[in-house]
Amino acid sequence: MNITEKIIHNHSGVAGVRPGDIVDITIDARVARDFAGANVVKNLENNGLDVDDPDKTYFTFDCNPGGSDQKYAANQHYCRMYARNKGIKVYDIDQGIGTHIAIDKGLILPGGTFISTDSHANIMGAIGAFGQGMGDKDIAAAWAHGSVWFKVPESVKITFTGKKPDAVTAKDIVLNMLNKFGASTLLGRSVEMYGNAIDALTLDERITISSMATELGAIIIMFPPSEKIISELKKRTGKDFEPVYADNDACYKKEYEIDISQFIPMVANPGHPHDDAPVTSVKKTKIDSAFIGSCTNGRIDDLRIAASILKDKKVAPGVVLKIVPSTDQIWKQALNEGIIKIFKDAGVLVSNAGCAGCAAGQVGQNGPGEVTISTGNRNFAGKQGKGSVYLASPATVAASAVAGYITDQHDIPAIPAEFEKGTSAAQEKVSKEKPKEDRPIETEGRVWLIEVDDIDTDMIFHNRYLTITDIDEMGQYTFDNLEGYEDFASKAQPGDIIVTRKNFGAGSSRQQAVDCFKSLGISCILAESYGAIYERNAINAAFPILTYDPELLKDIDLKNGDTIRVNFKTGEITNLRNHVSTHINKFFDVQMEIYQKGGLL
């Protein structure tokens, strides 16, 4: 077995596992954040469920650590009260990003299992642990029972040859990977990283790369722990452990060999993390703001790199540089090393630890028309504000903030670019589940043919609505951030069926991106493939989703506005316009079981 298969096997209690098997996995650390934490609690309370093991259960308040949004503040306190009652540990708004805390404090160790309402919980691959972001129903089930069902993924092995260029950072490595693989080549697969250049990576560098597995569409990017990493983790956590490694005869769906010496400093162009280009191709693009932080680049290594560039320099006139360490411990370390003073002397806004610009956090949002260069992991339209966001390494972001335009650390002008005149680059009422109804195995409805790949969760249900917990309010916001479909909610009719393309639901773990369709009465969604978390959320909510081979749909000559009939049990699909039928992938057994129950809980 490979690493992921071994970890799942060790936590499943079954004799052996292989790709495609569905098993219950015991979860070592079960986390809910301030985003979705309140929904996790409501799911438990509404279904009369208790917490299985408070010692393995945690809250981490990292999305809005200032409590600056009233609904976030209300949800945070709602969770605090529940935690006090149940004896659950809370890493509150003064602590930082939950996934980083889990690594640094040993809540999760190599070979362990970790889940969170954070879609970047697969960052645990950095230490050779299995982590997954999940929706609030999944997390509630794990809190109540200590385990969740999981489908064993296919695995991919990537071996890097050659020597890493000095100018190439960990962020550049993952941006080069996105440039090569895109957002769906590795979709739903566990990726293992090997090679001399990989062995030499620090913990912070591994965290950067693993944190963007979600953007690659992968289940996880898994690093076999080196002796240096093992020693560091034992020192940090004070705990002993036995790492898990792949067997010599481990099987992989596919193996790649990549020459890392060919990698170059990269940026991701606004809108898509996988739309990547050399830094040189966008050089001298004027910026309004810059951001260093997030779970991808808020570690001490990242801050040291930024400080080495900002020392004795100033942020360009009119440009705002925001820096947010990932944890309070790293913040204090930066203070003791004099890094915070370098930042402040350079004119940087330094905020308290947390996620910052992601998920409408406390620092890092931009406004309409604003051009930002950021170390974040996502630059979906609207994700970090209303402006345009380029993704890059801390070195590139710091250099660009000093220059006033996008550049690299080796080409910072003596006089920065300036702007020309006139230019700018609550604890809510607990919602009750509707009464259960008979669950039909066949549906019939009008087709919305949306021929777009990689429709992400911010396009489906934007992060500015994340605090909405009443499903009846969600439908009106469906697709209002998907270009060309902003009026979808007003035109959709109960029973309608959406037919779309690859990687539908990429990105966040937000349950609302499923529930908004339920709110509108959409009867099912057909897609070539789904984001891994989105697929789970839909299945667990008893919302019908199916996958299809595009060649098969050609057989029925499907057009926008056609009426089709879909059978979930057999996979038969019929176009009622021409009465031609074919078969797509039917519900698998667990999906049907959850669907007939009316949901996971």
Residue 312, judged by CB atoms within 10 A of its CB (0-12, 13-18, 19+), counts as: exposed
What residues contact residue 504 under an 8 Å CB cut-off, 6+ apart?
455, 525, 527, 529, 530, 531, 534
Q: What is the pLDDT of residue 463?
A: 85
Q: Return the H-helix or E-strand segment holding 374.
A: strand 371-374
Global pTM reads 0.86
Structure token digits, residue 293: 């932080």
Structure token digits, residue 389: 């966001």
Q: What parts of the chain have a pLDDT lower than 50? A: 426-431
What residues contact residue 368 under an 8 Å CB cut-off, 6+ apart?
386, 387
Q: What is the pLDDT of residue 426?
A: 33
Residue pair 393/171 in contact by the 8 Å Cβ criterion: yes
Q: What is the pLDDT of residue 430?
A: 46
> Domain spanning 266-403 has what CATH number?
3.30.499.10
Fold classification of 442-597 (topology level) = Aconitase; domain 4 (3.20.19)
CA-closest candidate to residue 379, choices 566, 473, 280, 507? 507
Q: What is the pLDDT of residue 172?
A: 97
The distance in angstroms from the start CA to the end CA of the chain is 32
- Please give the class, per CATH, of domain 9-151: alpha beta
CA-closest candidate to residue 126, choices 234, 202, 183? 202
Q: Is the sign of the CA dihedral 575, 578, 581, 582 positive or negative?
A: negative
CA distances from 87 to 57, 134, 456, 558 (A): 9, 23, 36, 55
pLDDT tens, residue by residue, 434-449? 555 579 999 999 999 9
Could you tell me where in the chain the CATH 3.30.499.10 domains are found?
9-151, 153-264, 266-403
pLDDT tens, residue by residue, 141-194? 999 999 999 999 999 999 999 999 999 999 999 999 999 999 999 999 999 999
Fold classification of 153-264 (topology level) = Aconitase; domain 3 (3.30.499)
Q: What is the pLDDT of residue 424?
A: 54
The residue written with tokens 């050399």 in the block is 278
**CA torsion, ordered 488, 494, 495, 497, to nearest 10 deg:** 10
